[in-house]
Chain A
Amino acid sequence: MDLLQQCFHGMSFDLFVIQTLNGIVTGMILALVASGLTLIFGIMDVVNFAHGELFMLGAYMGVLVLATTGSFWLALILATLIVGLIGAALQITTLRPLIGRDPLTTILATFGISLILQNYALWQFGPVARKIQEPYTGHFNLFYLEYPWYRLVIAGLSAAIIGGFWMFLKYGKYGIWIRATTQDRVMAQAMGIPVPWVHTAAFAIGAGMAAASGVLFGPLVGVNHIMGLDWVLKAFIVVVVGGMGNLGGSIAAAILISLLEAYASMLGCISPAQAVIVSFVVLVLTLLFRPTGLFVPTPK
């Protein structure tokens, strides 16, 4: 009883609303990171261990562009494009030659890329965290809290990017190429789809989306060379829980897990640092009871 009391001490409706908002904001960023990861996995069976570093690289690009141009929006766009191009170059040089080899080789390759990028960032930018100034510093009153507008902007922009990507996949010529290649690489080739380039493009899009999330999230945490680690771990959990390669599932899982974490950190008996355990609990439960993913239709 004491424990229960301690757990629910300080709970209130206000806090619930605030945490819901926080959960959605982190959930949208996480969904943006995870979308790229699941796209890359779905289309070329590559588990991209460098995804967190592309996120980090995006944030640093944002820092640099912001420092030179002073425009956050330009930083967001340029960082996305530049990291997208870097992603394309990485795919062509390290992953394309490995097509048809043991999947372990691609894991080692992307892991290698992640170490190189991390250490390059450390060498280039040093260990001190850089700051990205948010484009909006305004707040609005939410109960007893001054809630920053910028957080809502992040959620809205992430949703817009994901929505745009979704539309592109659904209606665009190249979106159909990506979906066809994801479903049947061999038949896609036989239909004249240049599959090697579709792989490159998918990797570039995934990298660009990671970079965009890095820039958007930068103002909340500060930018350093290991900022990708937490995110990529969580994004991996989301991708597995959502069903490997399933975009809609990943988005739903990202929001679910972030909300659960936000609610768990309300509990008096759990410190916010411990709340991250929630995502692992969801992961373990998913693997135990629904290993194909929570949000995929039950196979008939």
Chain B
Amino acid sequence: MSATAAATEIQNTPLIGVEDLHTFYGKSHILHGISLKVGAGEVVGLLGRNGVGKSTTLKTIMGLVRPSQGRVVYQGYPITSMAPHKLARMGIAYVPEDRRIFRLLTVMENLRTGLDRGNVTDARKRELLDKVFTYFPVLAERRDQAGGTLSGGEQQMLAIARAMMLEPKIILLDEPTEGLMPRMVSQISEIIGALHREGVAILLVEQNVPLTLAASQRVYIMEKGEVRHHALASELKVGDPVIQQYLGI
């Protein structure tokens, strides 16, 4: 199946569609008409050099910055600039680049920020906790420790686990392996695989190209606030000219 064929298939049932998004920080024009789609249960990579606007794309989807033009559609509904807390309750989870653990809250309390949602039964809460503690046993060990005392890798795990508490349909995952030791990196790529098998869609921003190509079904490559290339992950290899051209590796 070619990238266009895959795109057509997703077009019929996209979970999230981003259409011609323009975003400014003050006067600087950062996103110049981004369009992309993520299908239900699909892992999509978003690659690009530093500063091309990958994080800004995720923040705009999450409602953390307002686009000046364009729209975001989720399950067929326009959600552009909706309040982030509503999006979170609708199934969009966000794991930011700098992790943003609640440093003074314990690991358990960090998880509870996503778990205490009203319509979740106690049994379901326990299931969700058991699940993340199976994926990340270290979090169970440190459940009563303040988030700020965890190591970088543990904080990343907590950030992902916390997002999972929302039972999301999609996770916006921003550079999860940044600054992690190789062992941690492979653990993160395992969890991405596990989430995929569970049917959770992921929009994955990464600098780690091999990991992204391995974890994703499709990838978009950005440059200067625009999508320049779109391909099936299986059609790309680390040494390809497009990768060299846009990512310089």
Contacts and interface: CB of A to CB of B under 8 A. Distances in A.
Given A191-B113, A192-B166, A186 B88 contact: no
A184 B99 CA distance: 11
Given A173-B112, A192-B117, A195-B85, A187 B96 contact: yes
A194 B83 CA distance: 9
A186 B117 CA distance: 18
B132 to A, nearest CB: 14
Given A190-B64, A190-B84, A191-B166, A176 B113 contact: yes
Contacts of A194: 83, 85
B113 A188 contact: yes
Greatest chain B CB density within 10 A among A186, A191, A194 is at A191
Q: How many residues of A sit at the interface, in one of the four size bands?
A: 10 to 19
A180 B102 contact: yes
A179 interface: yes
Interface in B72-126: 83-85, 88-89, 93-94, 96, 100, 102-105, 109, 112-114, 116-117
Given A192-B117, A193-B85, A184 B166 contact: no
A179 B88 contact: no
Contacts of B104: 179, 183
B116 A183 contact: no
A229 B184 CA distance: 56
B102 A187 contact: yes
A179 B148 CA distance: 14
Contacts of A192: 85, 88-89, 113-114, 117, 166
Interface residues of B, number: 23
Contacts of A94: none
B62 interface: yes
B114 A176 contact: no
B218 interface: no
Greatest chain B CB density within 10 A among A192, A195, A196 is at A192
B162 interface: yes
Contacts of B112: 173, 176
Greatest chain B CB density within 10 A among A187, A189, A194, A196 is at A187
Contacts of B102: 179-180, 183-184, 187-188
A189 B100 contact: no
Contacts of A55: none
Given A190-B84, A190-B85, A192-B117, 11 more contacts: A179-B102, A180-B113, A183-B105, A186-B64, A188-B102, A189-B64, A190-B62, A191-B88, A191-B114, A192-B114, A193-B85
29 contacts: A173-B112, A176-B112, A176-B113, A177-B116, A179-B109, A180-B109, A183-B102, A183-B105, A186-B64, A186-B84, A186-B100, A187-B96, A187-B100, A188-B85, A188-B102, A188-B113, A189-B64, A190-B62, A190-B88, A190-B93, A191-B85, A191-B88, A192-B113, A192-B166, A193-B85, A194-B83, A194-B85, A195-B85, A196-B83
User: Closest 4 CB pairs between A and B?
Assistant: A192-B88, A189-B84, A187-B100, A173-B116
